[in-house]
């Protein structure tokens, strides 16, 4: 196995706070642990050395970055990529004031069920490739547009061809032609039995403000069944209003609770005292015209924050992590360093992964490069394709 020296890196974002003495109190550039005039060595799929370019060891080949910036590849920890169909008309309607309530999900279920395996596989492949072209290294992919035993299992099998972070989301919404109690029984029974071997996570759209999603009692039952089947919990919560989702996520020690658009003071305190990551999805607020959550308030309270795209056909058809960083900085009170951490190390924490989102010895060599002198340009130049995956 050959080694590669990546050298002449003008600015290297390591996300390794140990370089600055470690400690949870580190913030901003101290936490992302910048190195300048840096280099690293890649051995196979992992990082073997990191340090000053002047101290770099020999390697089998050399890649000169000519002063460019290198960062950990983005970790996009919330995606709904297995779908067919178009819902652009819903986006246009929301731009004129129509509210989102989760009901449009059914408009994706029909074409997704009708699509062939080959068609869905091609669509997912294209979406993953688009994300990787913009610097994303690892994506999580959920089911949720099948809502039948066979269609949910099919979605998970296809998702598993592209990532090992696969999430069972049979509890996305209750199909309009189905009794709620019967559907919860299906999600926790035959559907779970078919899907659990194909997934790592279980997720629920816990949203009492939507007639289509699941209330607190239903969420507790579904998460409990998933955990009993060997799946790890994560949760959609607080998208349309305050509710029980955040407290349930903390109670179940969920890796992540996602959206968090509407949080109570008690929710923030619960998150601050837990290991559950608050994953913010600013592309959803952009696409639904809802208020942006305050990343600043969460960070100041000591909550670990992640950023993800929530790429889906209804409320955010974007897989651009650089765009999410720009929105977080402009609309959510986060600094560029905080947003970059949330899009990399924060996403890794939301998936309970220690091998991605960081540049240190032993980590996966998932890297991205910026055609720019500093990571600040990600938010400074939104929409400009300066970030790309680094193939060493």
Residues belonging to the binding site for 4-imidazolone-5-propanoate are 87, 145, 172, 239, 315
Token pair in block for residue 389: 């995956």
**Residue-wise DSSP of 123-135:** HHHHHHHHHHHTT
Bridging pattern class, strands 367-370 and 69-72? antiparallel
Specify binding-site residues for N-formimidoyl-L-glutamate.
145, 312, 314
H helices within 204-355, ranges in order? 216-228, 245-251, 265-272, 282-288, 295-300, 321-331, 336-343, 345-350
Token pair in block for residue 364: 């996966």
Q: φ, ψ for residue 115 (rounded to 5)?
A: -75, 150
CA gap 227, 350 in Å, rounded: 17
Specify binding-site residues for Zn(2+).
78, 80, 236, 310
- Smallest CA-to-CA distance from 124 within 159, 163, 169, 149 is with 159
Specify binding-site residues for Fe(3+).
78, 80, 236, 310
Burial of residue 174, with CB atoms counted within 10 A of its CB: 0-12 exposed, 13-18 middle, 19 or more buried: buried
Tokens 């929530």 sit on residue: 310
Token pair in block for residue 310: 């929530």
β-pair partners for 38: 9, 52
Specify binding-site residues.
78, 80, 87, 145, 172, 236, 239, 310, 312, 314-315
Q: Is the dihedral of CA 13, 15, 21, 23 positive or negative?
A: positive
CB contact set of 137 (below 8 Å; sequence gap of 6+):
72, 73, 74, 75, 356, 364, 366, 367, 368, 389
Q: φ, ψ for residue 159 (rounded to 5)?
A: -60, -40
């Amino acid at each position: 196995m050959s080694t590669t020296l990546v050298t002449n890196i003008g600015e290297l974002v390591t996300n390794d706070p140990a370089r600055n003495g470690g400690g949870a109190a580190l913030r901003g550039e101290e936490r992302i642990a910048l190195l300048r005039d840096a280099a690293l060595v890649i051995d196979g799929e992992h990082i073997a050395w990191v340090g000053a370019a002047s101290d770099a060891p020999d390697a089998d080949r050399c890649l000169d970055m000519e002063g460019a910036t290198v960062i950990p590849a983005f970790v996009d920890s919330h995606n709904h990529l297995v779908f067919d169909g178009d819902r652009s008309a819903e986006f246009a309607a929301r731009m004129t004031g129509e509210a989102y309530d989760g009901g449009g999900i059914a408009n994706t279920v029909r074409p997704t069920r009708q699509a062939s395996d080959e068609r869905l596989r091609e669509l997912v492949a294209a979406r993953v490739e688009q994300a990787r072209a913009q610097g994303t290294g690892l994506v999580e992919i959920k089911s949720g547009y099948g809502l039948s035993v066979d269609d949910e299992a099919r979605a998970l099998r296809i998702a598993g061809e592209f990532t090992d972070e696969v999430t069972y989301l049979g509890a996305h919404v209750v199909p309009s032609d189905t009794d709620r109690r019967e559907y919860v029984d299906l999600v926790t029974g035959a559907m779970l039995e078919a899907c659990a071997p194909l997934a790592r996570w279980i997720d629920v759209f816990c949203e009492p403000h939507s007639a289509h999603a699941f209330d607190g009692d239903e969420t507790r039952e579904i998460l409990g069944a998933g955990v009993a089947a060997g799946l790890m919990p994560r949760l959609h919560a607080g998208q349309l209003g305050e509710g029980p989702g955040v407290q349930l996520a903390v109670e179940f020690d969920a890796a992540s609770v996602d959206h968090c658009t509407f949080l109570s003071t008690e929710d923030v305190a619960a998150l601050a005292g837990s290991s559950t990551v608050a994953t913010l999805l600013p592309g959803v607020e952009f696409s639904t015209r809802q208020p942006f959550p305050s990343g600043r308030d969460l960070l100041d309270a000591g909550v670990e924050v992640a950023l993800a795209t929530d790429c889906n056909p209804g409320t955010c058809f974007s897989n651009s992590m650089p765009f999410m960083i720009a929105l977080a900085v402009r609309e959510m009170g986060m600094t560029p360093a905080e947003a970059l951490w949330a899009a990399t190390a924060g996403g890794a924490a939301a998936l309970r992964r220690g091998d991605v989102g960081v540049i240190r010895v032993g980590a996966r060599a998932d890297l991205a490069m910026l055609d720019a002198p500093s990571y600040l340009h990600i938010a400074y130049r939104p929409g400009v394709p300066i970030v790309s995956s680094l193939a060493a």
